[in-house]
Amino acid sequence: MESIQIKTASKQYPVLIGKKAINELPELITHELNHLNKILIITDEKVAALHLQTVKDALIKTGKPVLHHVVPEGEHAKTFDVFYECQSFCLTQQINRKSLIIALGGGAVGDLAGFVAATFMRGIPFIQVPTTLLAHDSAVGGKVAINHPLGKNMIGAFHQPEAVIYDLEFLMTLPLKELRSGFAEVIKHSLIADNELYLWLKSNIVDLNDITDEQFLTMITKGIGIKAKIVEEDEKENGIRAFLNFGHTLGHAVEGSMGYGNFTHGESVLIGMVYALKLSRKKVDLDFKLDEFIDWVSSLGYQITIPTRLEHAMLLELMKTDKKSVNDAATFVLLNEVGSPLLMDIADSELIEEMAEMI
């Protein structure tokens, strides 16, 4: 079992990572949140069938009443309608400020349940229980949100969890597409912060179907450790936390244009990372073996080109509405070198030119 302490200006909390980590949840609640009168699990349809009963069985030890509310799978959970349904459920079940929400699922459920917790009665506590590799990024740091047709995660808040419980056994049920989505965020962490981790990933992860428990523990622990250091310094994304959006400016535009849920977050971000790496070579002379990178990620099943059906002008406008962008310009996270990111506004003409080369 690995433990990482997240320290921000507003809160400190533990991240517990390992097999059977869910067994730590009742003791944590009893010791740290014993005043609770009720626990609500928010999860999605697929995760409910796989893991809901396991979590409920663990929570019996707390002696608290446990409710659950099931939402649609994936990005379909992050809508105004589903958010409203969750709030209505909380009201009808008399959830209050002495209640706890548990987000059981991937990044989408974590974002939704966290935003419900952040806004219900002006904020109640919640715990993240991730069930996907992708959620190693989203479950830590307190960014919670829902989507709008005009932009991903544009309606949200900063609301830190009380804890993150990362049971690696939950990853064993993930389909390959979801592993691929999550691994893109592991790659992202290595590129912005840790060249040794990047080289380790490239040497050791050659088939996403054959990742070992030890490899999962290594990549998740190192990825969360990288995010923890950044969040501790910049909780509310006023500075270096924006570096965590490497690949996301174009990635979010691709994901939204393809229709949320039709193209996974990680697959979209991977396209965005290739785009940002190409821009980095042009704009700041990044010395990086891009061909080797493309060969590696392609062998893992990633698409590295922009889908041909997407219009460049539409992608450009979406990139300009991204949360990082200001002054009507598209702002990108680029790399001076692996482990050394920077922010740069880039002219429309250059962005269109580079998009044309990625079809």
The annotation status of 179 as a binding-site residue, yes or no, is: no
The annotation status of 143 as a binding-site residue, yes or no, is: yes
Burial zone of 244 (CB within 10 Å; 0-12 exposed, 13-18 middle, 19+ buried): buried
Q: Which residues are CB-contacts of 291 (< 8 A; sequence separation ≥ 6)?
A: none
The annotation status of 76 as a binding-site residue, yes or no, is: yes
* Residue pair 38/54 in contact by the 8 Å Cβ criterion: no
* Residue pair 66/37 in contact by the 8 Å Cβ criterion: no
Q: Which residues pair with 99 in a beta bridge?
A: 38
The annotation status of 171 as a binding-site residue, yes or no, is: yes
Helix segments in 51-175, DSSP class H: 53-59, 80-92, 107-119, 135-138
The annotation status of 78 as a binding-site residue, yes or no, is: yes
The annotation status of 68 as a binding-site residue, yes or no, is: no
* Residue pair 160/9 in contact by the 8 Å Cβ criterion: no
The annotation status of 173 as a binding-site residue, yes or no, is: yes
Say how far apart CA 220 and CA 143 lie, in whole Å: 18
Q: Which residues pair with 15 in a beta bridge?
A: 4, 164
The annotation status of 265 as a binding-site residue, yes or no, is: yes
Report which of 234, 246, 238, 310 is spatially closest to residue 280, judged by C-alpha positions: 246
Cα–Cα separations (whole angstroms), residue 286 to 268, 276, 283, 324: 22, 11, 8, 22
The annotation status of 109 as a binding-site residue, yes or no, is: yes
The annotation status of 248 as a binding-site residue, yes or no, is: yes
The annotation status of 73 as a binding-site residue, yes or no, is: yes
The annotation status of 77 as a binding-site residue, yes or no, is: yes
The annotation status of 108 as a binding-site residue, yes or no, is: yes
Q: Which residues are CB-contacts of 252 (< 8 A; sequence separation ≥ 6)?
A: 151, 152, 153, 268, 272, 318, 322
The annotation status of 7 as a binding-site residue, yes or no, is: no
The annotation status of 74 as a binding-site residue, yes or no, is: yes
Say how far apart CA 104 and CA 108 lie, in whole Å: 10
The annotation status of 172 as a binding-site residue, yes or no, is: yes
Buried-state track 160-199, b at ≥16 Cβ within 10 A, e below 16: bbbbbbbbbebbeebeeebbbbbbbbbbbbbbbbbeebbe
Annotated binding site for NAD(+): 73-78, 107-111, 131-132, 143, 152, 170-173
Annotated binding site for Zn(2+): 185, 248, 265
Annotated binding site: 73-78, 107-111, 131-132, 143, 152, 170-173, 185, 248, 265
